[in-house]
Amino acid sequence: MTMHDSAPLQMKTSSHSCPVCGYAKLHESPRSSSGGGSFEICPSCGFQFGVSDDDDGISYEEWREDWIDGGMEWTSKGIEQPRAWDAKAALATVIKAAKKRSK
């Protein structure tokens, strides 16, 4: 038996952050290097990249305000909210990054 036979296969997964709410485990980058949306839906805030923005004309800031006003609830029905999910902490990282960019 070789080492490969006994070791479990591990798939390398990369994580990307939602620019709306800060959820850090999106499967794809919200925008490709060419600028197109991924069509992934953030399970936290429900924003769909390439649809909510490109097709519906909603900015990240507008969606974020509505999500905050709605109580920052987890939106996915099919993906369980992680036990350690802290919407306020994730949101703080997005707001901090936005302030840095605006300077």
Per residue in 25-62, pLDDT (tens digit) is 999 999 999 999 999 999 999 999 999 999 999 999 99
Rg, Å, the chain Cα set: 16
* Number of domain units in the chain: 1
Residue 7 within a domain? no
Residue 101 within a domain? no
State pTM to two decimals.
0.82
Residue 103 within a domain? no
Tokens of 31: 């925008």
Residue 40 within a domain? yes
75 and 45 in contact (C-beta within 8 Å)?
yes
Residue 23 within a domain? yes
For residue 6, the model assigns a pLDDT of 47
For residue 62, the model assigns a pLDDT of 97
Per residue in 53-77, pLDDT (tens digit) is 999 999 999 999 999 999 999 999 9
pLDDT at 92 over 90: yes
Domain that holds residue 41: 14-75+86-94
For residue 102, the model assigns a pLDDT of 76
User: How far is 38 from 98, CA to CA, in rounded Å?
Assistant: 21
Q: Burial level of 74, CB count in 10 A (0-12/13-18/19+)?
A: middle
- Closest C-alpha among 74, 75, 82 to residue 25: 82
CB atoms within 10 A of CB 17: 18
pLDDT at 100 over 50: yes
| Structure-model confidence comparison of residues 9 and 54, the more confident one | 54
